[in-house]
Every structure is written in structure tokens, then in C-alpha cells.
């Protein structure tokens, strides 16, 4: 009977878990709300992680899980006792007897795209960060500073630039077009569309909620809107700069992760074109399944044969 491994990809908005065997067969999957205690609170985080694990285990005996890895955003900023006081009770409640290794979500995102121990991952979704990975651990970081201080080229950055374009049109200092019209309509469904109203609507609610406007930018770019194309081009340039800041080799793989970087849009195409020009020897891959990347990292604790590990990676993440 094959040993089992468990992988978790834990973010602020969702938690995903995958149970697999060391032959690469997916045996169970779970999904729940955010499991990051910083953004969700300790109790909600613990409950959501447990729910995802419980779903993934299904009818399988928890004691058969021989290794587990959990990738979690902001792992370095978590209190030192987070594993012992918050997550250990979760593992005990789920019936797990193996240790659970906590790593950064960027590491599991990288491993979702490449079995290499070294390389670079850029995660661009609501936020944006680039990480240098060395021996399956975070070694160097660029950006990921949050919506107010950084996250250049991210979804929230796109949205901010789109609102700025709408404000300039409203005060008569900028051009209009499909993007400006769609952003204005999204912010003000009825009533005056003056600058003060737009500012008020844009600043109501949590700042990261503004990222809901990012798809308007990529959609307008697809129909050739000049303002949207300019914003998308600048976003790609920002992301390229972020990646370049952590690259000190030319041949290690680059993994793209996050909803913005992995979709087919003007930003991701611009980023890939830039990477191909700047790092022509580096293979560029997509990291689409962080839970599977985490499960593969867990399997590394049990398997030492590198060819077998590469076959397992293909089975878990390519089949």
C-alpha cells in the first residue's frame, strides 16, 4: 500500500488541500476559506485549514499520511509559535500523525511549475511579488509590499491606474474611452460622475476590494483601448523589473503564478515577451496548482531518487 502525502496551499481568501500517493495518484481534494491567521484571524484560519484537510482525506485513514507540506502567505512574518499553538491542534483534530512542514506560498507556487530546486517565481494576482528560490526555500524577495507601498503591476495596481484615468477624464485633463467608461460605470451606477463622487466610491470599502476593476483593464486592452494598453504595458514592465531584481542566474526556470500572470491577457503576454528578451535561456513555466506543488514537496521527504521525483512531478502536475 503506497504512502500518502498531503499538500496545502493557504492564502488569505482560500485554502486548497490535495491528498495523493507517492505514485502521483490524486486521491482527494479540499477547498475552504482563507487560512492565513494574519488576514482571517486565528480561529477562522484554523477552522478553514481543518475543513480543507478533512475534505481531502475523505474516507482515507489519516495515519497513512507520511508527509505533509503547507505553503502559507507571509510565513516568515507569522509568530514563532504559530505551528505549535494554532496548527498543531488542527493536525491532531484531523488525525494526522506526521509532521507538517510550513513553507512560503511562493515556494509551493514555484514547485507547482518546476521540479528544480532553484529558480524564480513571480506571483501576480491581487498583489505582486517575485521570489528567488534556492534549494526549495525562499532566498530573496522583491516587492510584495502591499497595495499602499508596492505590488507594482498587480491587479490592485491596474485598478488604481484605471481609476486615475477615470478621474483625469472627469476633471477634463485626460482622454476617455472604453476603459474610462467601464470604470466610471462600475464605480457610479447612477447619479453624478464628478471627481468627488468617483473618489468617494473608489475609497469606500477595503482598498484591496478595488482590484475588482482589474479585469476591466485587461478586457479593454483586448479591444485596443489606448489607455488600457498603456496601463497593461506599464504593468508588464513593472513585473519584469520586480523579477529582474531577484535574478542572479540566466538559466534557472521562471515560474509565473497568480491569476494575472497565468491568464492570457496583455499584461501576461507583455511579461512573457520581456522575460524572453531579458532571460532567453530561462524556461518559463506556469504554476497553477499550489496544493499539488506542496504535495510534491512532501513527497521529497520520502523519496530520494531524483528521476522518480521528476516523474512524480509530471504525474501530479501535468497529467
- Residue-wise pLDDT for 53-62, tens only, equals 999 999 999 9
pLDDT digits (tens, 9 = 90+) for 176-234: 999 999 999 999 887 778 888 888 888 887 777 888 999 999 999 999 999 999 999 99
Domain for residue 119, yes or no?
A: no
Residues 278 and 295 occupy one common structural domain: no
Q: How far apart are CA 311 and CA 55, in angstroms?
A: 27
Confidence of residue 24 (pLDDT cuts 50, 70, 90): very high
pLDDT digits (tens, 9 = 90+) for 235-248: 999 999 999 999 98
Residues 95 and 181 occupy one common structural domain: no
CATH number at residue 271: 3.30.420.40
Domain range for 89 is 4-114+288-318
Which set of grid coordinates corresponds to residue 95? 488525525
Q: What is the mean pLDDT of residues 1-23?
A: 90
Residues 300 and 273 occupy one common structural domain: no
Which set of grid coordinates corresponds to residue 221? 486592452
Which set of grid coordinates corresponds to residue 195? 471627481
More confident residue, 162 or 37: 162
Residues 181 and 73 occupy one common structural domain: no
Q: How far apart are CA 81 and CA 281, in angstroms?
A: 42
Task: Give the whole-number percent of the chain exceeding pLDDT 70.
Answer: 96
Residues 106 and 179 occupy one common structural domain: no
pTM of the model: 0.86
Residues 241 and 206 occupy one common structural domain: yes
Residues 183 and 264 occupy one common structural domain: yes
The structural domain count of the chain equals 2
Residues 81 and 170 occupy one common structural domain: no
Domain for residue 298, yes or no?
A: yes
Residues 134 and 263 occupy one common structural domain: yes
Residues 36 and 75 occupy one common structural domain: yes
Amino acid at each position: 500500500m503506497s504512502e500518502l502525502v498531503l499538500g496545502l496551499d493557504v492564502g488569505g481568501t482560500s485554502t486548497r488541500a490535495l491528498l495523493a500517493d507517492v505514485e502521483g495518484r490524486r486521491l482527494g481534494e479540499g477547498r475552504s476559506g482563507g487560512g492565513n491567521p494574519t488576514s482571517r484571524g486565528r480561529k477562522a484560519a484554523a477552522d478553514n485549514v481543518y475543513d480543507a484537510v478533512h475534505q481531502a482525506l475523505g474516507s482515507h485513514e489519516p495515519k497513512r499520511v507520511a508527509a505533509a507540506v503547507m505553503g502559507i502567505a507571509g510565513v516568515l512574518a507569522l509568530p514563532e509559535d504559530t505551528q505549535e499553538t494554532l496548527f498543531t491542534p488542527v493536525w491532531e483534530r484531523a488525525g494526522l500523525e506526521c509532521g507538517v512542514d510550513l513553507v512560503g506560498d511562493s515556494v509551493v507556487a514555484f514547485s507547482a511549475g518546476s521540479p528544480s530546486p532553484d529558480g524564480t517565481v513571480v506571483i501576480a494576482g491581487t498583489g505582486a511579488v517575485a521570489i528567488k528560490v534556492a534549494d526549495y526555500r525562499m532566498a530573496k524577495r522583491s516587492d510584495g509590499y502591499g497595495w499602499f507601498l508596492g505590488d507594482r503591476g498587480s491587479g490592485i495596481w491596474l485598478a488604481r491606474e484605471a481609476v486615475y484615468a477615470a478621474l483625469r477624464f472627469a476633471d477634463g485633463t485626460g482622454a476617455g474611452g472604453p476603459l474610462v467608461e467601464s470604470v466610471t460605470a462600475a464605480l457610479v451606477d447612477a447619479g453624478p460622475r464628478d471627481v468627488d463622487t468617483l473618489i468617494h466610491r473608489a475609497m469606500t470599502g477595503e482598498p484591496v476590494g478595488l482590484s475588482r476593476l482589474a479585469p476591466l483593464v485587461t478586457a479593454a486592452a483586448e479591444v485596443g483601448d489606448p489607455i488600457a494598453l498603456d496601463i497593461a504595458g506599464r504593468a508588464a514592465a513593472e513585473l519584469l523589473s520586480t523579477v529582474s531584481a531577484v535574478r542572479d542566474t540566466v538559466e534557472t526556470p521562471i515560474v509565473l503564478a497568480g491569476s494575472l500572470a497565468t491568464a492570457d491577457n496583455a499584461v501576461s503576454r507583455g511579461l512573457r515577451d520581456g522575460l524572453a528578451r531579458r532571460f532567453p535561456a530561462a524556461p518559463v513555466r506556469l504554476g497553477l496548482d499550489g496544493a499539488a506543488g506542496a504535495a510534491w514537496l512532501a513527497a521529497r521527504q520520502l523519496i530520494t531518487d531524483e528521476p522518480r521525483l521528476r516523474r512524480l512531478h509530471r504525474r501530479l502536475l501535468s497529467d
